[in-house]
Copies of this chain bind each other. A is one copy, B any other.
Amino acid sequence: MKKVNCDVLIIGGGPAGGVCAMTAKMNYPEKEILVIREFEVQLVPCAIPYIFGETLGCSDKNIASCGGAVDMGISTILGKIEDIDLEKKIAYSSEHEVSFDKLVFATGSIPFVHASLQDSLGLDGVFTVPKNKMLIDKAKAYIDNIDNVVVVGTGFIGIEMAMEFAESGKNVTVIGGSEHILKGPFDPEVAIQAEEILLKHGITFIGNDRVTAVIDKNGDNIVNGVQLKSGKVVDTQVVVLATGYKPNNALAEKVGIRLGYYNGIEVDEYMRTENTDIFAVGDCCARRSIITNTPSKVMLASTSAAEGRIAGSALFKIKYLKGFNGTIAIFSTMVGDMAFSSAGITETEAVEGEGDIVVGSFTTTNRHPATIPGAQKQFVKLVAMRNGGQIIGGQIIGGNEAGEMINIIGVLIEAQVSIYQVMSMQVATQPMLTAAPTNYPIVMAATMIAHKIENQQ
């Protein structure tokens, strides 16, 4: 048993743990910061789908660099913490005994698979999408030689995987429980446009259905198809279960850390547990929506990184007032050559939650004039409070500029800016880079909302 001392022990080296470590070292340079993680090599989580197609083509091109942490003097050991003595402040792996002053859980998330499909995980050809290089390499090697693939799940990981498979020439069927894909971040009229791109790429989408069983008709432990609730059977040689993730909290539960909704670790505004020497950051935490304050299942590296920064600066004192409460659920994905981006709350979610909201949208081109080579359609939808006009959500379809454009809407939400301010907002526009200043779609969508509010629509 090797004894190790540190001031801050961070369990996990994903985005939340990594950012927490670097922020801690920057804020408290005299403290010894130690990260313990299970794998020698850490994948960049959001780019895992791109390993399966031509975009990256292999996991070796998707390695998170840890060079920055090493240069800063952050220590790392490989291992898996199996137990913690919270009184004595010692964590135990099979090889190490680590004493700490502050402890940070950054244990992330693991694939969620519905109970009815757990058994199918033993079949050859059935895979989840874990953040684990060895398992991803194994899945890729298997799927590379297969022509027919079923993807279960219509979140962004499922859709990105499906597109990579389709672009590699495979026959792809996507199965989802809702009428439309990407439910949650997008309203139907936006999701439909992503579905049209799937269709153009030859992908079959079956919605409003559910996989009730994975079929192994020869009894040889190799998958042949999936049985759907509707009665349909889809023949396939590979099933990818992209049905979400759940907090990886076996260790926290074992040592008695209080878990909240969706089994995330319960934390306060500064990512502290009840025991203020123990923090948690990233997907292993319970999260709330910034708008409704209700529990949220959102798991995004951007939220995780923000949490890592908050904990890293607050470990020994509250150095900075927290800039936001809850997750803004801000994210982007690519479907073909179109970017789909979302922030805050959708119209669907707002209406279901009885929000007194007004929406406005505007369609233009992402270059001006529209004759600029490469110009694409650009669509912006905003959701705002009827009373006061604060912007609480937005969705964008566009070229790759949409990936940063959604962050404009993110700031508008976080800073509680209203449509009335946006109407006279100054925006940089340039023919090769943006829509026209006269038709800038965020401003125009805000204007539409003001007009509707005034006319009591």
Contact = CB atoms under 8 A, between A and B. Distances in A.
Interface in A191-205: none
Contacts of A423: 309, 313, 320, 323
Interface string A46-66: 110010000110000111110
A306 B425 contact: yes
Nearest to A301: B437
B433 A410 contact: no
Interface stretch (A92-100, A246-254, A352-360, A401-409): A401-409
Contact of A372 (B47, B331, B339): B47
A415 interface: yes
Interface stretch (A101-109, A116-124, A443-451): A443-451
Contacts of A443: 305, 309
Interface residues of A, number: 85
Interface string A439-457: 0100100010011000000
A339 B334 CA distance: 22
A336 to B, nearest CB: 11
Given A46-B429, A430-B331, A306 B400 contact: no
A323 B422 contact: yes
A61 B431 CA distance: 12
Interface in A281-312: 300-306, 308-310
Contact of A410 (B310, B371, B410, B428): B428
Given A371-B56, A426-B302, A431 B324 contact: no
A153 interface: no
Contacts of A210: none
B62 A15 contact: no
B408 A407 contact: yes
Given A309-B424, A421-B323, A428-B406, A368 B302 contact: no
Interface string A6-22: 00000000010011000
A432 interface: yes
B369 A64 contact: yes
Contacts of A44: 368-369, 431, 436
B424 A410 contact: no
Contacts of A256: none
A403 B430 contact: yes
Contact of A430 (B46, B62, B408, B427): B46
A414 B405 CA distance: 16
Nearest to A412: B411
Contacts of A63: 369
Contacts of A231: none
Contact of A55 (B332, B373, B425, B436): B373
Contact of A400 (B18, B369, B400, B447): B400
Contacts of A438: 15, 18-19, 64, 301, 305, 308
Among all A-B residue pairs, the 5 with the closest Cβ atoms: A403-B433, A323-B421, A47-B431, A305-B437, A61-B371
Given A46-B431, A301-B437, A332-B428, 13 more contacts: A19-B438, A46-B368, A46-B437, A305-B438, A305-B440, A305-B443, A306-B424, A313-B423, A328-B426, A408-B410, A410-B426, A411-B417, A411-B425
